[in-house]
Amino acid sequence: MPGSASAYQCVIWVRNSPSHISNASGDNSGERTQDTFESPKTSTSNKHLFRHGYYRSVEKRRAEYVPAILRIGAAWSWRLLLILGVAAALIWSVRPIYEVVVALFLAMLLNVMLTPLVGFLRRRVKLNRTGAAAVGLLVGVVVVVGLFAVSLDQLIRKIPSLAQQTIQGVNSVLEWINNSWVGTQSDQLRDWITDVQNDVLNAAKSNSAYLAGEALGIAVSTVGVLASALIMLFTLFFLLRDGRGIWIWVLRMLPEAARYPVNEAAIRGWVTLGGYVRTQVEVAAINAIGIGAGALILKVPLAIPITVLVFLGSFVPIVGAFVSGAVAVFVALVNNGLTTAIIMLVVVVVVMQLESHVLQPWLMSSAVSIHPLAVVLSVSVGTIIGGIPGALFAVPLVSFVNVVVLYLHGHDTMPLLSQIEDRPGGPPGSLNEQIKASYRVIPGWEQERLTEEAEGES
């Protein structure tokens, strides 16, 4: 064929441009033939020919048979299915290393809380990186262990009496039922309770081997928790000591064109994560002080463990404070009676309303711009996927991803970070120097030694 056009292009051009085809006699009768034609690449009216040709393009022919809404829906559907498939594959691949992932995420959250302390130790106390990281880690461990030690001491001293009071409370309820208008059914109720107790004892006897296996599983889980705690502490130390160097090492593996936007997006995500964690600490402290003070004033036992439980539970937004407050109400009901339990319930409701309508909008609005519905859904999905750790990490992870994706799509939620010199990640425009400084230059004498060793092995 003449010219450089492919056979496909030639046929398409011929079938769509009868007016430019000439037969052997030279007349322009419009007869469809492929004897001679003008090359599509040299024609000045190709766009006109293909736009008004005999056969329409493939896209136009598709539009004739498939409605636009169905085509758009299909295009979105397969993309969403692909994203869900990748997410499911990631979750499935994380399952075998679940404890390690939880330890890593917990170390990152604690790193955000302890980084200001480590920075203070380096700037004011003039400690080196290793010393500041070690002191910061030690302070965090002492605080956490001290809280749990005080709570455990009260639990050991109060749990036996609380259990006895619980049994007495159940008996009082049964006595009330016996003396109430349903007293005629009390014999049937007692028989039913007795049957349930017998069924439980029989089930325990018949499944003793299974229960022994479960006990062994609990022991193994305890060992796994201790191992995860050690991994978390080890990771936290190195994040406090050289977190920026670890991130630079990650950036070095990316293409050069992607390093700057990824670094800037990650800095904004890290600032958002830090704001969320510090704000959540403030909210948790206010919740714990409010409910704990109410328990102390009402002389509810286990007031300090309840305060610690409320503080830790408040790190799960909305749901955590509700569950820990329900524990406080239950303890007040068992130990102090119905009146004290009602007052304790009022205290919990007031504190939760203060959190929901004052603290969360006021403090969280400047730290995380996430709708309350997104918070609830994130906590629910995180609980389904990862249990209690999933509920704890869901909201900070969503807030981090939200800011990063917005920046990569061209919407900078923190434009002032481009002008602040003392920001996480170093001054603006210093990324290339940090990457260059991270490469280790091997001294000449060490190069010679490595070369001699390689030659000796070969």
Secondary structure of the chain in HEC code, one letter for each residue? CCCCCCHHHHHHHHHHCHHHCECCCCCCCCCCCCCECCCCCCCCCHHHHHHCCCCCCHHHHHHHHCCHHHHHHHHHHHHHHHHHHHHHHHHHHHHHHHHHHHHHHHHHHHHHHHHHHHHHHHHCCCCCHHHHHHHHHHHHHHHHHHHHHHHHHHHHHHHHHHHHHHHHHHHHHHHHHHHCCCHHHHHHHHHHHHHHHHHHHHHHHHCHHHHHHHHHHHHHHHHHHHHHHHHHHHHHHHHHHHHHHHHHHHHHCCCHHHHHHHHHHHHHHHHHHHHHHHHHHHHHHHHHHHHHHHHHHCCCCCHHHHHHHHHHHCCCCCHHHHHHHHHHHHHHHHHHCHHHHHHHHHHHHHHHHHHHHHHHHHHHHHHCCCCHHHHHHHHHHHHHHHHHHHHHHHHHHHHHHHHHHHHHCCCCCCHHHHCCCCCCCCCCCCHHHHHHHHCCCCCHHHHHHHHHHHHHHC
Q: Which residue has the higher pLDDT, 44 or 446?
A: 446
Asked whether the predicted pLDDT for residue 58 surpasses 70, the reply is no
**Residue 321 resides in a domain:** yes
* Torsion angle, alpha carbons of 420, 421, 423, 427, to 10: 120
Per-residue confidence (pLDDT) for residue 235, from 0 to 100 = 92
Per-residue confidence (pLDDT) for residue 262, from 0 to 100 = 92
Q: Band the pLDDT of 186: cuts 50, 70, 90.
A: low
Per-residue confidence (pLDDT) for residue 238, from 0 to 100 = 92
**Residue 226 resides in a domain:** no
At 56, the amino acid letter reads: R
**Residue 74 resides in a domain:** no
Query: How far apart are the C-alpha atoms of 121 and 126, rounded to whole Å?
Result: 6
**Residue 83 resides in a domain:** no
The structural domain count of the chain equals 2
Asked whether the predicted pLDDT for residue 10 surpasses 70, the reply is no
Asked whether the predicted pLDDT for residue 2 surpasses 70, the reply is no
Q: Band the pLDDT of 236: cuts 50, 70, 90.
A: very high
Per-residue confidence (pLDDT) for residue 12, from 0 to 100 = 43
**Residue 130 resides in a domain:** no
Residue recorded with tokens 């009071």: 165
Q: Band the pLDDT of 212: cuts 50, 70, 90.
A: low
Asked whether the predicted pLDDT for residue 165 surpasses 80, the reply is no
Give the range among 117-121, 190-194, 334-338, 388-392 with minimum mean pLDDT: 190-194
Query: How far apart are the C-alpha atoms of 419 and 427, rounded to whole Å?
Result: 8
Q: Band the pLDDT of 276: cuts 50, 70, 90.
A: confident
Q: Which residue has the higher pLDDT, 217 or 409?
A: 409
pLDDT digit string, tens, across residues 281-296: 888 888 889 998 998 8
Query: How far apart are the C-alpha atoms of 353 and 286, rounded to whole Å?
Result: 12
Q: Which residue has the higher pLDDT, 213 or 439?
A: 439
Asked whether the predicted pLDDT for residue 179 surpasses 70, the reply is no
Q: Which domain holds residue 29?
A: 7-64
**Residue 327 resides in a domain:** yes
Asked whether the predicted pLDDT for residue 458 surpasses 60, the reply is no
At 442, the amino acid letter reads: I
Per-residue confidence (pLDDT) for residue 135, from 0 to 100 = 92
Per-residue confidence (pLDDT) for residue 53, from 0 to 100 = 47
* pTM score over 0.85: no
Query: How far apart are the C-alpha atoms of 250 and 1, rounded to whole Å?
Result: 54
Q: Band the pLDDT of 14: cuts 50, 70, 90.
A: very low
Asked whether the predicted pLDDT for residue 35 surpasses 90, the reply is no
Contacts of 63 (CB under 8 A, 6+ apart): 71
Asked whether the predicted pLDDT for residue 138 surpasses 90, the reply is yes
**Residue among 171, 150, 153, 193 nearest 334 (CA):** 171
List own/partner pairs for 244-249 with CB under 8 A and 24 or more apart: 244/425, 244/426, 244/434, 245/438, 247/425, 248/434, 248/435, 248/438, 249/438
Per-residue confidence (pLDDT) for residue 7, from 0 to 100 = 43
Per-residue confidence (pLDDT) for residue 18, from 0 to 100 = 45
Per-residue confidence (pLDDT) for residue 182, from 0 to 100 = 52
Per-residue confidence (pLDDT) for residue 94, from 0 to 100 = 80
Contacts of 125 (CB under 8 A, 6+ apart): 132
Give the percent of the chain with pLDDT over 70.
68
**Residue 280 resides in a domain:** yes
Q: Band the pLDDT of 77: cuts 50, 70, 90.
A: very high
Give the range among 111-120, 206-215, 268-277, 350-359 with minimum mean pLDDT: 206-215
Asked whether the predicted pLDDT for residue 131 surpasses 50, the reply is yes
Mean pLDDT of 299-311: 86
Per-residue confidence (pLDDT) for residue 381, from 0 to 100 = 86
Mean pLDDT of 439-449: 69
Asked whether the predicted pLDDT for residue 145 surpasses 90, the reply is no
Give the percent of the chain with pLDDT over 90.
11
Mean pLDDT of 422-438: 85
**Which residues sit opposite 286 in a β-bridge?**
none
Q: Band the pLDDT of 217: cuts 50, 70, 90.
A: low
Give the range among 98-102, 152-156, 388-392, 429-433 with minimum mean pLDDT: 152-156
**Residue 348 resides in a domain:** yes
- Cβ pair 352, 322 in contact under 8 A: yes
Q: Average pLDDT, whole number, for the chain? A: 76
